[in-house]
Amino acid sequence: MQHKISVITVVYNDVKGIRQTLESFFSQTCAEKELIVIDGGSQDGTVDVVRKYADRLAYWCSERDGGIYDAMNKGIAHATGEWINILNAGDVYANEATLQQVVDFMAEQGAAADVIYGDSIAVGRDYDQLEKASTDVSLMDYYPIYRHGSSFIRTEVQQQFLYDLSQRARFGYALDWHMIYRVYKAGYRFQKINIPIERYLVEGASSNVYRNFYYNYKVTSEGRFNLRHFLVLAKSSVRYAFSRSWLYRYLKGFGTEVMVNDVLPHLPWRLRRAYLKLLGMRVGKGSFVMKRTYFMAPWHIEIGEGSHINRGCTLDARAGITIGNSVSISHQVNIMTGSHDVRSRRFEGVFEPITIADYAWLGIGCTILKGVHIGKGAVVCAGAVVTKDVPPYAIVGGVPARKIGERPQDLDYHCYWNEPFT
């Protein structure tokens, strides 16, 4: 199968985690996939769970090994797909369509890539938090720009760059970053897909941030003292320490809440745009956001060219909002990437990104809920509540929104707006 993905899961004594990881894989709508499970000789019932899925697995074994990276190398040896993804026990995919979205991306844009990577969702005790991967591949001269489990590497490349077990004592749990760095330095091509790939549990040894910084330095300095890399290590450590302080909390609140939602709405767009871009928001040529739009996490917003957002909208971008070209968003539209798990005893936050494709039109007062993709040229009627993906050029309305018509497909316009003081 073209673009077939070999998923490798390694596990040791994690009966709860392996079950949810297997279910996440088999719930994927993508057909071009296989699962390889390498168990390290579990004694807690993990093997019994894996055995129940045995007839659906491409390969599995349960035997003592030399640790997680030895197990990953074993899995790589049995991969038959074009691409390899590592999904550790306990981690799951962002949604049921994740692998299909990746395969579609591979077919359309991934021909020149050797590694495709995306965003991740960190799952804590009472929160989900989007972790955006950088599009600036050159930053890998200093540190990883994505999480290992949120990437897909061509099998021929991965089999050439196995995890170097001889370096375990030196790099510890950063042996995966050591592998990625070697691929990067060898000149292979990395390309980002703008979706979250995996939801991973925030726990374990690799959650020690300062140790992570140190391992990043050890890998990228390649065994020699490097002043520039050492300064990056120092800067990262100081920045992280400051981010945990009460002063940072108040400064961030002032800069991202008071300035963005209280001060900026009174200023012309040129000034608002400059400040929002300073925070990390990306706005294409000719796009315009009118006054009195409420922003949450604007640094996770990307807007294409010639798009227009009217007054009174709410843009909750905590999980990321991507808006294409020539998109028209009417007054008082709510785009909400965040919610809560109503079945959870702890009322945990749940976040999924929203994508609005080119030429879409969102009618006045409609609401777009987490995880929704609005297709190219689609129309959402006034007051509708969208809970599921909207196909390209479909017209939807109602609560919840349902398809009520089709839009012409020969669209050719821009939503420019250049009135002064608006």
The catalytic site residues sit at 340
Q: Which of 220, 213, 216 is nearest to 185 (CA)?
A: 220
Enter the DSSP assignment of 32.
S
For β-strands 367-368 and 308-309, DSSP reports them as unpaired
Q: Across the beta sheet with 361-362, what order do the strands follow?
A: 288-289, 308-309, 328-329, 361-362, 379-380, 394-397, 402-406
Strand, helix or coil for residue 340: strand
HEC letters along 285-335: CCCEECCCCEEECHHHEEECCCCEECCCCEEECCCCEEECCCCEECCCCEE
Residue 267 exposure: Cα atoms within 13 Å on the Cβ side: 14
List the alpha helices (DSSP H) in 42-116: 46-52, 68-77, 98-109
Number of Cβ within 10 Å of residue 141's Cβ equals 13
Strand, helix or coil for residue 282: strand
Backbone angles phi, psi at 37, to 5 degrees: -115, 125
Element (H or E) spanning 157, and its range? helix 155-160
The Cα diameter of the chain in Å comes to 70
Enter the DSSP assignment of 206.
G
| Torsion sign over Cα 198, 204, 207, 212 | negative
272 CB-near residues (< 8 Å, 6+ apart): 264, 265, 289, 291
Element (H or E) spanning 89, and its range? none
Give the separation between CA 285 and CA 418, rounded to whole angstroms. 12
The residues that bridge with 201 in the sheet, in sequence order, are: 123
- In single-letter form, the type of residue at position 165 comes to L
Give the separation between CA 236 and CA 395, rounded to whole angstroms. 48
